[in-house]
């Protein structure tokens, strides 16, 4: 599965902004046909996104389109317009039930079949941002084999539950925790909420650190200036990679001697710590982060 550290939203009706995103060091570009586009500009946005998909050089960046919600009356026209550009993924907002993802999966399959394209080549990303969606997370996570990530929409959720948005985020902590836990249970990526204060990069960094601690693999961005902070926060540091490599090497040496639990740098090491170290090295490989591992690139002798 590709890395999705920073996922940058760009309004679908702005060719200039989409072109700007293609110059950034960002994992994913989400071209938006939903909230970022006025009702009067929906058709213009569809045409702009299709043109961008067909003509822009995105490099290694993932090309995602956020369509309008299933049931909005706009979603089928969205797909018809943008699928000829062969996006890498479709982000579906306001996901509340498995049926919505099944509808999208079926629509993508029909299109791929007509085009004689590989069935399943277009991924699905589910944005969960309502109370019902949080309640149904288990079922949503199992709805489609195309589903690769759950994205947490905190702002809409707070409005849906009648809460008050705070900097501390206590009002969404339960939902935020449930989403990342459910994603892990079903081997999906968990992508964290947007940070709405565009000028508070220190606050963004703090929230990113918290998301990493919770188990999130990435975060949605709403402005280019947020991208470097997010990309860095969700990338293992050289020090973390080196520590993980040393831990794995020591573990293998002790295993060869018949020892299970051992100490390293004055700390007891057991199986959970080994799994955490393996995850750091796996993320480094996935993200092509330079690190001082052995020549075969996986930490083995």
Report, as residue numbers or ranges, the catalytic residues.
270
d(CA 290, CA 284): 7
């Amino acid at each position: 599965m590709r890395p999705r550290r920073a996922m940058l939203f760009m309004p679908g009706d702005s060719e200039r902004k989409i072109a700007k995103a293609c110059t950034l060091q960002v994992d994913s570009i989400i071209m938006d046909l939903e909230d970022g586009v006025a009702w009067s500009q929906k058709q213009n946005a569809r045409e702009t996104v299709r043109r961008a998909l067909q003509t822009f050089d995105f490099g290694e960046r993932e090309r995602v389109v956020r369509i309008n919600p299933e049931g909005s009356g706009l979603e089928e026209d969205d797909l018809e317009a943008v699928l000829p550009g062969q996006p890498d993924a479709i982000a579906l907002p306001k996901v509340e039930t498995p049926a919505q993802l099944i509808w999208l999966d079926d629509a993508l399959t029909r299109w791929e079949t007509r085009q004689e394209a590989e069935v399943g080549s277009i991924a699905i990303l589910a944005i969960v941002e309502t109370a019902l969606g949080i309640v149904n997370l288990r079922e949503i996570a199992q709805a489609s084999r195309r589903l690769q990530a759950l994205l947490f929409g905190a702002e809409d959720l707070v409005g849906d539950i009648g809460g008050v948005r705070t900097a501390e985020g206590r009002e969404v902590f339960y939902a935020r925790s449930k989403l990342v836990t459910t994603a892990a249970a079903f081997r999906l990526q968990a992508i964290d909420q947007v940070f709405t204060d565009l000028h508070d990069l220190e606050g963004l960094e703090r929230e990113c650190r918290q998301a990493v601690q919770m188990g999130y693999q990435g975060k949605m961005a709403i402005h280019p200036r947020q991208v470097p902070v997010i990309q860095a926060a969700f990338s293992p540091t050289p020090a973390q990679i080196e520590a993980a490599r040393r831990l794995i090497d020591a573990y293998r040496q002790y295993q060869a001697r018949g020892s299970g639990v051992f100490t390293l740098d004055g700390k007891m090491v057991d199986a959970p710590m080994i799994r955490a170290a393996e995850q750091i090295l796996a993320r480094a490989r996935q993200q092509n982060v330079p690190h001082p591992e052995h020549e075969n690139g996986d930490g083995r002798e």
